[in-house]
């Protein structure tokens, strides 16, 4: 998982940080990226504004927030920061509050960090790795856990769908199309790989505006509760996922989508 380590230098890891609320928690994560030269302070403001506009959709799993904004002039280089809070704070999420881990991402474009997000999704979805990350005593120890590769392939779970003249498509959707939607895409692709369905179903991460135009191409749209409310009726099933790291939850959503 070298790509993930490359994006997260030790100086961008803060353990047992204190924050009074969710805005301050994001500000701590944003400040680390400013200090590393990844962003300007304006990017931190953009991350906070995204939550103010769309709600706490960045809380992708119990206790985990994935802060980000669109690529902008405020991003100087693709990079990440990692903030483990001494005391959890509420972001206002219905099921995943309170948050103890804030991972922040700044990306120069939509493709610069795909492999790193896939690695992070696998790690946070693995109970053993997640526990090791939560207990890491130093930034160096945390980065050592992140450098591991514990992906475990699983056998196919179901017969493939009738693909027809073209591949089936599923959209994963967030406010910006470069952060939580990509995170969800990676976990969904893990499930498709385990089912043996990757040759039949493609997954595209996108933003809310683009998703409305692309919905007719898709079998279903997967997203957070907050973004589902923003999307409204798009003419295709919109499936809410609460834990973007849970292959078990996404497995169930996929089974419901295809009536497996």
Task: Tell me the three-class secondary structure of 31-89, residue by residue.
Answer: HHHHHCCCECHHHHHHHHHHHHHHCCCCEEECCEEEEECCCCCCECCCEEEEEEEEEEE
Note the pLDDT tens digit of each residue in 164-203: 435 799 999 998 766 788 889 989 999 999 999 999 999 9
Q: Is the peptide bond before 98 cis (omega within 30 degrees of 0)?
A: yes
- Going by the DSSP 8-state scheme, the letter that residue 97 receives in this structure is P
Instruction: Measure the CA–CA gap between 167 and 201, rounded to whole angstroms.
Output: 6
Banded pLDDT at 153 (limits 50, 70, 90): very low
Note the pLDDT tens digit of each residue in 85-127: 999 999 999 999 999 999 999 988 866 667 777 788 888 888 8
**Predicted model pTM:** 0.84
Q: Which of 68, 93, 113, 168 is catalytic?
A: 68
Give the strand pairing for 220-223 and 168-174. parallel
Residue with tokens 């280089």: 77
Tokens for 201? 């179903």
Catalytic residue status for 54: no
Asked whether the predicted pLDDT for residue 220 surpasses 90, the reply is: yes
């Amino acid at each position: 998982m070298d790509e993930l380590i490359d994006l997260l230098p030790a100086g961008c890891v803060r353990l047992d940080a204190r924050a009074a609320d969710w805005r301050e928690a994001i500000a701590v994560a944003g400040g680390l990226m400013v200090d590393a030269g990844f962003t300007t302070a304006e990017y931190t403001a953009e991350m906070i504004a995204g939550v103010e506009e769309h709600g706490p959709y960045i809380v992708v799993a119990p206790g985990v927030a994935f802060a980000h904004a669109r690529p902008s002039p405020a991003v100087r280089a693709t990079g990440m920061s990692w903030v483990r809070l001494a005391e959890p704070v509420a972001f206002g999420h219905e099921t995943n509050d309170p948050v103890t881990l804030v991972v922040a991402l700044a990306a120069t474009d939509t493709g610069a960090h795909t492999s790193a997000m896939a690695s992070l999704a696998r790690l946070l979805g693995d109970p053993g790795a997640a526990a090791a990350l939560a207990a890491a005593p130093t930034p160096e120890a945390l980065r050592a856990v992140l450098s591991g590769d514990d992906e475990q392939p699983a056998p196919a779970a179901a017969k493939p769908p009738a693909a027809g003249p073209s591949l089936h498509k599923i959209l994963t959707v967030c406010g910006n199309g470069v952060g939580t939607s990509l995170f969800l895409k990676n976990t969904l692709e893990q499930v498709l790989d385990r089912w043996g369905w990757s040759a039949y179903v493609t997954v595209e991460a996108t933003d809310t505006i683009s998703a409305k135009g692309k919905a007719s191409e898709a079998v279903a749209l997967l997203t957070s509760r907050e973004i589902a409310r923003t999307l409204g009726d798009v003419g295709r099933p919109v499936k809410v996922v609460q834990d973007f790291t849970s292959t078990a939850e996404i497995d169930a959503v996929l089974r419901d989508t295809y009536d497996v």
